[in-house]
Amino acid sequence: MPRIQGVDIPNDKPTYIALQYLYGVGDCRAFEICFKLNLDVQRKARELSDDDLARISNLLDKEYMVEGQLRRHIQQNIGRLRDIQSYRGYRHRRGLPVRGQRTRTNARTRKGIKKTVAGKKGVKDMKH
């Protein structure tokens, strides 16, 4: 398996799809990389030469933030929001949706599994 930026990319996939296995590289950026380096997007990743892999790696180092560097950058941004005690930082800290979504219903992905809170039962008035 070819390795780029310390990540194994699959052999049997076309180059532009194999590049998407890198964190921070989507379909648009994968095509952009292939066109900048004059690579055939449909060629299988196993057919890439060591020179091609080195050129891809150099381009990613120079022009793009991917993998560990990008993850670190995102975590630093979230940490900064927490440190300045912004509303978005507060939402990150509490594990709630950050971008204005409703939480009365839905939001289960961010909030996690339901935690049932014992509420008041409908106590009926006993007076006649």
Say how far apart CA 116 and CA 118 lie, in whole Å.
6
Q: What is the pLDDT of residues 41-95, one digit of tens each?
A: 899 988 988 999 999 999 999 999 998 999 999 999 999 999 999 999 999 999 9
The residue behind tokens 């900048």 is 36
pLDDT-derived band at 127, boundaries 50, 70, 90: low
Query: Tell me, what's the pLDDT at 126?
Result: 63
**C-beta separation of 59 from 22 below 8 A:** no
Domains, in order of start, for the chain: 3-64 (1.10.8.50)
Q: What are phi and psi of 124, to 5 degrees?
A: -85, 145
Token representation of residue 87: 């509303």
Say how far apart CA 43 and CA 53 lie, in whole Å.
13
Whether the pTM exceeds 0.75: the reply is yes
pLDDT-derived band at 121, boundaries 50, 70, 90: confident
**Quick one: how far is CA 122 from the chain centroid?**
45
Question: Is 125 a residue whose pLDDT tops 70?
Answer: no
